[in-house]
A and B are shown apart, each in its own frame.
Chain A
Amino acid sequence: MFSGFMVDTWLAGILVALLAGAVGFFVVLRGSTFVAHALPNGSFAGAAGAALLGVSTFVGLAVFAVLGALSIAGLGRRGRHDAVTALVLVLMLALGALFIVLGAQYAPAVDALLFGELLGVSAAQLGPTVVITAVCLLALVLLYRPLLLSTVLPDSAQARGVGAGVVELCFLLVVALATAMTVPVVGTLLVFSLMVGAPAAARAVCDRPGRALALSIAIALTAVSAAIAGSYETDYPVGFFVGTVSAGCYVLGRLVGTRRRRVDHGAAEPAAA
């Protein structure tokens, strides 16, 4: 399982898990689950379109994800709940279907795009993946405190000179790139599950932001490793394992969290005024 092409697979998987777990922590913190839904949809259309044009799907994923992020940045709070936005997101999926049909995509390629595959990241793509992952992680490190502050206390952040708009834009771009990196391994339909499930589980258990972030990455690594190993042994799609393990970790995390909180706080729970 650890030789030949699988080395590339493991490397890609680890990078993707690192990134998804870290990015997902902030996505969940900011309550940007909408973004985690929207970008994979756009990426789907982008990848299918790229295949139709004979361009690298990698490029298609990244371009459409970034375009999606910029659109969301320009959208504002209200636009996110608009019916037009919801319909446009579905249209992205329909567009992807169109591109697939027009390009007469091989069925396995379609399944891989939707549900991931072991060979998702080829040796040639590994280099760019490493670079982009490193850049994104660096950006997250730099954004850590301002992002926390502007998420939790937006007015205080602004008064201290942290531009909410700039922080939001940088963050969205990082999410876009992370999505594009994650899709080849776990598939567009399971990106949300990985990116949101791991941090949601982590924060149920950890009170501190730093620890929750670390645990989120650890859970993501677990999920992806289990998916790669499981897919190698059984030939089942990577996405199947990602979906089930993420959901399992989430349920487990919530159970642990609920029990912990009951023990800690006993009866003296102050009511919110």
Chain B
Amino acid sequence: MSVPVLAVEQLSVSLAGRPVLREISFTIEPGEFTGLIGSNGAGKTTLLRAILGLRSRASTSSGQVLLDGRPRARRNPLIGYVPQRVTLDPDVPLRARDLVALGLDGHRPGFALPSRRRHAQVQEMLEAVGGGAFADARVGELSGGEQQRVLLAHALLGRPRLLLLDEPLAGLDLRSVGEVVALIARVAAEHRLAVLISAHEINPLMPVMDRILYLAGGRAVHGTVEEVVRGDVLTGLYGHPVDVLHVHGRVLVVAEVGGGTGPAAAPAGVEVLS
């Protein structure tokens, strides 16, 4: 029985007094691809940050996060983190190549002495993510999709065993979404990485997910897609009636809204949850 790369036990997080995550527990096995699905504001970023050990001032948390069976330390070389976006001015003098290179040794003091080996490693990783073309462009001038690749290369250079990606697909056009998902899956397979990727839509990740962690109301359900994405399971999670529809090979999770009686009733309709 292998040790899970990540084990989250009874994790609860409150932000400024309001509970955001309630007793979340799940594990990720080495090499497993897990999708973290939830609507905006469901707490996906909070969960990722909690795993990374990033605390904001107003947050309190309880529970445990174990990496490779051991409690989380201040430095976690095991985890590669790909944030959603880098808000960089095009004026900032940092090329894609430089940002990626920081993934290698950015945490060490001093300058990096120019070395052929270092350059080769950075070049190789850039090409692996399909970023060779814009390696010398400024990070602030890259498009969203291009930035994702650079951030991915940056995270991979740290030789992680678990890759955390915070909504990498948000704001990308349809074609880029497919490309990025394929890229992440390929890279994860090549480097034998476990992946935890957050998104608010299930469908782009369906082809590559091993398991899904579905977040709603501060609670989560963990399992394979067949186990989790079911009407009865999600109704239990949300606490109100939820249907799972299969339309043209895609999954739609919908909830009924409004439609009560009385003067204050909202108009009846259907809302797509993910």
Question: Which residues of A does B touch, CB under 8 Å?
Answer: 29, 141-146, 148-149, 152-153, 155-162, 202-204, 206-212, 265, 269-273
A260 to chain B: closest CB distance in Å? 11
Q: Which residues of B contact A (CB under 8 A)?
A: 49, 52-54, 74-77, 79, 81, 83, 86, 88, 91-95, 98-99, 102-103, 105-112, 136-139, 141-146, 151, 154-155, 158, 171-173, 176
Closest to B108 in A: A145
The 6 closest A-B pairs by CB, nearest first: A273-B144, A161-B75, A149-B106, A270-B143, A212-B93, A160-B107
Distance in Å from the Cβ of B50 to the closest Cβ of chain A?
12
Task: Give the chain A neighbours of B142 by CB distance below 8 A.
Answer: 270, 272
Within the complex, the shortest CB–CB distance from B59 to chain A, in Å, comes to: 14
**Chain B residues, Cβ within 8 Å of A206:** 93
Residue of A nearest to B171 (CB): A273
Residues of chain A with a CB closer than 8 A to B139's CB: 152
List chain B residues, Cβ under 8 A from A203. 91-93
Tell me the nearest residue of chain B to A202, going by C-beta.
Answer: B93
| A208 close to B110 (CB less than 8 A) | no
B81 contacts A156, C-beta separation under 8 Å: yes
The dominant DSSP class at the B interface is loop
Task: Give Cα A148–Cα B139 distance, bound, in whole angstroms.
Answer: 13
Contact: A159 with B94, CB < 8 Å? Answer: no
A152/B81 in contact, CB under 8 A: no
Seed contacts A158-B54, A162-B106, A208-B95; 8 additional CB < 8 Å A-B pairs: A142-B109, A148-B102, A155-B52, A155-B83, A156-B81, A161-B74, A206-B93, A270-B146
Q: Is there an interface contact between B173 and A273, defined as CB atoms closer than 8 Å? A: yes
Bound Cα distance from A209 to B98, whole angstroms: 8
Q: How far is the CA of A149 from the CA of B111 in the complex (A)?
A: 12
Residues of A within 8 A of B86 (CB): 152-153
In the complex, chain A residues whose CB is within 8 Å of the CB of B107: 145-146, 149, 157, 160-162
Which A residues are CB-close (under 8 A) to B52? Answer: 155, 158-159
Shortest CB distance B204–A (Å): 15
B76 touches A146 (CB 8 A): no
